[in-house]
Structure 1
Amino acid sequence: MKAESKTFHWVGAGLASVPGIKRLIAKEHTLKIWERDVSKAYLATKGLSGNFDVCAATDGAMQAAIHPGDIVISMLPTHMHTSMARLCLEKDAHFVSSSYINSEMAALNQQAKDKNLTFINEVGLDPGVDHLLAHLLMDDYRSSPYFDPHNTHDFRSYCGGFPAVANDFKYKFSWSPLGVLKALKSPAKAILEDHIVTIEKPWDAVEPYVLNLPHQTEMFQSYPNRDSLPFMQDYGFGTDWTIARFVRGTLRLDGWSDAWKSVFDTIETTDNDDKELAALSDRLWADHSYQEGEMDRVVLSVDLKVSHDGRVVWHKTKSLDSYGTAQNSAMARLVSIPVSLAAEAILKGQLNAGVQAAPNDPGMIRAWLETIAEHGDMIYHTDHCMTAKLEAAE
């Protein structure tokens, strides 16, 4: 089948989808935008012209419209991705999502390979852009003269979204708070101070984190999120490496833990009471959701520090500090633009078959980051050892 006959099916046209949808339309791709509430899709494409259609998302309509070789982009809630991926298997179509690969998605790997289909996930912001930066850091370190598995390695990857102008609550919600609340109820696992640690209550592991951002040095709070350990292999950390710290986590504005104390107290006493958690979610949404025209901010930092005999020999950070605009939120850009790039990579035949996360090829990553920068989100690179040398020479 000719590449130009393939159609992108973008499923879910909420605010987080808009920049990616607009980009694919501007690139003159054939696009079907699926929404149960078609008014969202019409709003997302208002004023645009191109080869796209807005479609009411019903199971029958989608099944009839998806053809072999098409590319389905699922921006649905996480629990709906697997059923969409199974539909792609049935229709011989490729699949894209920004969400983590869970066991159900991973189980589709061999079937996707057998059909020569690409099912790529974890290509949003976090997970997504954070993976890209981690792979670049690791490629840089491995090719440096300082590379040695027996060095002591300290890896930290933190990401967070919050209001551009801090409020007393130190946070605002773009969508239902229930996902954030459930994440806080989930244990985290990381390597801290040379040991594998399980953190039952993430808020008990909050610590200050100073970031040297392009225009300022700023204090944040950080805490581990989910299970960091599987990503050691994904990023290329060997089993024989000496690792003092390996943590992927969440970044929050300074003062967040104090502002959220009552929320933590409620979470701690809810046990598995979904109704009580849902009620808390509703209250938080009413009190702390973004208002129309209110700007957001996204900060991401991926940092690798390497020491030998107690002396730092290699230390680099890749970071971004992005703000929303009147047109799009920073979060929407940084989720949906990478998703659109992953879909295009499938169209170009750049990705292997099977279930996979964000690419690790340095050339592809740099090309993606260039496009992300063109949409206003610059990646900043800091060589701490070089900075220290320059300061010492002054």
Structure 2
Amino acid sequence: MAAKKILILGSGMVAKPCVDYLLRTPTNNLTIACRALSTAQQVAAGRARTNPITLDVSSPELDRSIADHDVVISLVPFTYHASVVRSAIRGKTNVITTSYVSSEIRSLEQEAKQAGITVLNEVGMDPGIDHLYAVKTIDEVHEKGGKVLEFYSYCGGLPAPEASDNPLRFKFSWSPRGALLSQLNSATFLKDGKVVEVPNKDLMNSAVPYHIMDGYSFVAYPNRDSTSFREAYKIPEAHTVIRGTLRYEGNPAMVKALIELGWLDSSNKDWLEDGMT
């Protein structure tokens, strides 16, 4: 197997598991890039075939670094993914992200095809693994002559019950900021043939108990826009399509309290000045 040069952008909570997985293949050689060299070095520490570097994804150096590799895995905030894809198109380098396909990235599809590269998105757990099992199950139903009239898919990266020992009943396995702000999204889904819209201010109020197995107290609320997945999953016969998020009971109420207290408001505050503690 030919050696592969892989560039990993970002050194957050997902980076170390990603690096460890890639290093299972002895022909993979990794470059770990972060704005702070010390942070990249922490990810690379004790791991063979890794090269930590300092790199800002908004700098001109991004083009050169991406062009020097076979694949770039973007683990930086999703707002930077389009810039990474544009750079990869110029450098003819394949791209992987775990984030949803934004309209901006979708607009680059033709350019990516012309460059002869693969841009693979939505390859996490949600979105990602959930897509695979959804399509697998739907295909099995269709192959047997059945129809999918109602589709429900609920996912949640949750700690073991005994470890859900904080007011959020949650542990962060990816960007804490991203995880919390995702609970401020609006949502849209299809229910009994009608499109239902949930404003972001009401998302946590929409959480309802969801029984999966005895001994677990789950709640579920809708996740972003589910309506497009009737076409994506090839279930035109479905009158209900809901993709949602699972949390332990108590989480939405706690998040709602944080919202009402203003702790999830990302706008600048005059009273939060540099140097204050």
Common fold: TM-score over 0.5: yes
Q: In 1, distance between residues paired with 2:215 and 2:264?
A: 37
1:217-271 deviations in whole A, cap 9, x for unaligned? 5230000011111122111112xx142x21111111023233334224346996x
Do the aligned partners of 2:153 and 2:242 also contact (CA within 8 Å) in 1? yes
Residue matched to 2:185: 186
Structure number with greater CO (CA < 8 Å, separation at least 6) is 1
Matched, 1:234 2:232: yes
Q: In 1, distance between residues paired with 2:150 and 2:263?
A: 31
Q: In 1, distance between residues paired with 2:55 and 2:115?
A: 25
2:242 counterpart (204, 227, 247): 247
Do the aligned partners of 1:210 and 1:217 also contact (CA within 8 Å) in 2? no
Do the aligned partners of 1:202 and 1:225 also contact (CA within 8 Å) in 2? no
Trace 1:18-97 onto structure 2 (pairs within 5 A): 18-28=16-26, 29-50=28-49, 52-58=50-56, 59-67=59-67, 70-97=70-97
Provide structure 1 residue ranges, at least 5 long, that are not aligned to the other structure: 280-394
Q: In 1, distance between residues paired with 2:235 and 2:262?
A: 35
What TM-score, normalized to structure 1?
Answer: 0.61
Do the aligned partners of 1:95 and 1:118 also contact (CA within 8 Å) in 2? yes
Q: CA deviation at 1:60?
A: 4.5
- Partner of 1:19, secondary structure, is helix
Do the aligned partners of 1:92 and 1:115 also contact (CA within 8 Å) in 2? yes
Equivalent residue pairs, number: 263
1:165-215 deviations in whole A, cap 9, x for unaligned? 223332344566543454333321001244210011212321110113xxx
1:258-304 deviations in whole A, cap 9, x for unaligned? 3334224346996xx7236xx8xxxxxxxxxxxxxxxxxxxxxxxxx
Residue matched to 2:252: 257
Task: Quote the RMSD (CA, aligned, Å).
Answer: 2.7
Q: In 2, distance between residues paired with 1:265 and 1:141?
A: 44
Q: In 1, distance between residues paired with 2:131 and 2:175?
A: 25
The one-letter amino acid of 1:86's match is R
Residue matched to 2:13: 15
Q: In 1, distance between residues paired with 2:267 and 2:180?
A: 11
Residue matched to 1:155: 151
Provide structure 2 residue ranges, at least 5 long, that are not aligned to the other structure: 273-277
Q: In 1, distance between residues paired with 2:31 and 2:263?
A: 44
- Partner of 2:11, secondary structure, is coil
Do the aligned partners of 1:10 and 1:72 also contact (CA within 8 Å) in 2? yes
What TM-score, normalized to structure 2?
Answer: 0.84
Q: In 2, distance between residues paired with 1:69 and 1:38?
A: 19
Do the aligned partners of 1:225 and 1:250 also contact (CA within 8 Å) in 2? yes
